[in-house]
């Protein structure tokens, strides 16, 4: 059973676009989200909390606009990240640093955390990692391992709250007892079938769904780029029959985005996705709205 968490956010500039400091009640960790333009502030004495062992996440875009993520560790994360914006091979936009408030993280701990985060990112397939190697985490005692597993769980929650949604698979269902409607997309001419559900993560296309291998010129540039990223990440895998297949449940921002990327051309999600009775998503939404009208 999930329990509520109390997360504290501090805006040192009083603006949402500047640095953001995160901490959680009953967690020894702390996090700092820093725009790349402010990276020098990490070593000018403003943030001594991060001049200590920890892990860090750096994200940005490649020259062709594809998202990128780098995961690292250091005994001084604030100093370590200073050379990264020009050395990672992609344009860095922001950094998320983690350390411990009680200064109890050791080199072995952060090496273990780095390895675990890389493993989780590979499994989730939410972005392309720029790490050239996959380090092996240090062996920890049973007690230390249990402590780091708990630390990692809280770290992941803070990372997701900060917008770094790279370490968990898309959630197609909220819990075993909830009843979630499944929607279907069928493109007979293309021989494509797909299934999806709505969840807190967005509109989630289920693993095993199919997608066209031949997008048309009418597909919006943004959707085309997203298709390329999904292929690059291994989310979409080309099969022998010439169609792509989703290897994991995949969250999209809207039903229309999912339909367009699957079909390879502009598609209206509300008109394309249908439930098991053949009723479109759009019609179901209209019925729901009508039921609220007095």
Q: In what order do the strands lie in the sheet with 67-74?
A: 7-10, 20-24, 29-35, 91-100, 54-61, 67-74, 128-129
Banded model confidence at residue 293, pLDDT cuts 50, 70, 90 = low
pLDDT reading at 57 higher than 60 = yes
Please tell me the number of Cα atoms within 13 Å of 273 on its side-chain side. Answer: 26
- Show me where the domains of the chain are located: 7-161, 182-292
Give the model's pLDDT for residue 230.
Answer: 96
Span 131-176, pLDDT tens digits: 987 777 778 999 999 999 999 999 999 999 999 999 998 877 555 4
What tens digit of pLDDT does each residue of 74-94 get?
Answer: 999 999 999 898 889 899 999
| Residue range 270-290, pLDDT digits in tens | 999 999 999 999 999 888 787
**What backbone phi and psi angles, to 5 degrees, belong to 197?**
-135, 160
Block residue for tokens 């291998």: 213
The whole-chain average pLDDT of the chain stands at: 92
The mean pLDDT value for 36-55 works out to: 96
pLDDT digits (tens, 9 = 90+) for 100-119: 999 899 999 999 999 999 99
Of residues 188 and 96, which shows the higher confidence score? 96
């Amino acid at each position: 059973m999930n329990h509520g968490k109390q997360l504290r956010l501090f805006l040192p500039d009083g603006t949402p676009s500047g640095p953001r400091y995160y901490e959680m009640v009953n967690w020894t960790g702390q996090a700092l989200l820093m725009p790349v333009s402010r990276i020098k502030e990490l070593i000018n004495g403003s943030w001594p909390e991060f001049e200590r062992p920890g892990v860090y996440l750096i994200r940005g875009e490649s020259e062709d606009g594809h998202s990128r993520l780098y995961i690292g560790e250091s005994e001084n994360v604030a100093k370590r990240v200073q050379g990264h914006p020009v050395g990672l091979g992609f344009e860095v936009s922001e950094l998320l640093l983690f350390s411990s408030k009680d200064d109890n993280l050791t080199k072995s701990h952060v090496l273990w955390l780095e390895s675990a985060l890389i493993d989780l990112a590979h499994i989730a397939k939410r972005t392309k990692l720029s790490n050239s190697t996959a380090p092996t985490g240090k062996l920890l005692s049973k007690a230390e391992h249990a402590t780091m597993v708990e630390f990692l769980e809280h770290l992941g929650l803070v990372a997701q709250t900060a917008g770094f949604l790279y370490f968990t698979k898309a959630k197609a269902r909220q819990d075993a007892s909830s009843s979630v409607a499944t929607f279907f997309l069928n493109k007979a001419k293309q021989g494509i079938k797909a299934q999806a559900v709505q969840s807190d993560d967005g509109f989630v296309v289920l693993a095993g769904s199919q997608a066209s291998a031949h997008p048309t010129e009418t597909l919006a540039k943004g959707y085309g780029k997203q298709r390329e990223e999904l292929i690059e990440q291994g989310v979409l895998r080309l099969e022998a029959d010439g169609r792509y297949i989703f290897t994991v449940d995949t969250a999209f921002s809207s039903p229309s985005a999912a339909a367009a990327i699957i079909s390879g051309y502009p598609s209206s999600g509300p008109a394309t996705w249908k439930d098991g009775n053949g009723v479109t998503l759009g019609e179901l939404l209209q019925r729901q709205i009508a039921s609220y009208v007095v």
